[in-house]
A and B are shown apart, each in its own frame.
Chain A
């Protein structure tokens, strides 16, 4: 079944010189959303031509090793330098090549021998970014360009503090509930269960204030999203993502989210 959230994304640029993987990825795109259209390029230069000619590219999926000397990673950098912030998914048969992961200046990556669910999951995650995520990503990129080196080891301590803060924020909004994590390959959003709330127990302040709590909600709150992001970022040791989470928390505290 097509996932509705993908419907606003029309064109997915697949940069791949291997016909086997063009067919494989193209098929996954067809299966992901009925009105997603795959556009193909075989090299970095061809991809840049497509991007400039077609202003409606919503996701780029690029192989790292392409015909010629230029790589998928160079395409990502080239896009960034041109101010193109289209979500980007890098693939390769090598899982350990250096794309600058150590500096956090790297696109999302999945190894080439992915199964369909992995590719569709990664597409879902990238396409699910909304405009606020994109503006935050832009803000973070500017910070990183200004001074990539100003954060060091102390940043990990800041991140841990943010994690604690985010968990506190999430717990205050859960009204004594319990977050049920989705299965690893599930595309469903997290749900919240309030079964822990005992009859006769004091009603939380949010309920007293007139807020309506449904037993199961289809989407997590921003606080829960942030807590989830920070946990994920810590596990992934992604520098730029950690900075992004910091930005999210900062804006949340300032009431801009």
Chain B
């Protein structure tokens, strides 16, 4: 599936994950919020590693970092970013420099958009938790 046809953030995936983590005996869930915080912490670092790997033509590192990113993107419902990671992992494995360069540019822009949506979702979760008295 082309990344162009996928959404930046599928909120249903996040909402389902949040619902799965609800404690049936009461109490709130911080899993999704924690995962978003971790994602925001590690992704810029990984994008920097990708840039360094591209600058040094280390395609093995490009593949490895893209591979590490894709599963967390899928879990958060960031399906366009996940698709870009899949394509980048493949391009890296094939040593396709023009493709890697183009995908890297797309990933930077995609992360900027995704980051805003995730932040917005986390804020709504927080507001709901406050309103629910958690």
Contact = CB atoms under 8 A, between A and B. Distances in A.
A65 B71 contact: no
Interface residues of B, number: 20
A71 to B, nearest CB: 12
A232 interface: no
Interface in B1-41: 17, 20-21, 24-25, 31, 34-35, 38-39, 41
Residue from A1, A18, A20, A93 having most chain B Cβ neighbours under 10 A: A20
Given A19-B38, A19-B41, A20-B38, A27 B21 contact: yes
B64 interface: yes
B24 A113 contact: no
Interface in A124-150: none
Interface string B65-80: 0011011101100000
Contact of B24 (A1, A21, A65, A112): A1
B42 interface: yes
Contact of B75 (A19, A113, A117): A113
Interface residues of A, number: 17
Residue from B17, B21, B71, B72 having most chain A Cβ neighbours under 10 A: B71
Contacts of B24: 1
B34 A31 contact: no
Given A20-B35, A23-B34, A23-B35, A115 B64 contact: no
A24 interface: yes
Contacts of B68: 18, 65, 93
Residue from A93, A112, A113 having most chain B Cβ neighbours under 10 A: A93
A65 B72 contact: no
A94 interface: yes
Interface in A42-70: 65
Nearest to B20: A116
Given A65-B67, A93-B70, A23 B75 contact: no
A31 B22 CA distance: 10
B34 A113 contact: no
Contacts of A20: 35, 38-39, 42, 72, 75
B72 A21 contact: yes
A87 to B, nearest CB: 23
Contacts of A24: 31, 35, 75
A115 B20 contact: yes
Contacts of B64: 65
B71 A21 contact: yes
Contacts of B35: 20, 23-24
Given A23-B34, A23-B35, A93-B71, A116 B42 contact: no
A93 B34 contact: no
A23 B71 contact: no
Contact of B21 (A18, A93, A94, A116): A116
Interface in A1-27: 1, 18-21, 23-24, 27
Interface of A: 1, 18-21, 23-24, 27, 31, 65, 93-94, 112-113, 115-117
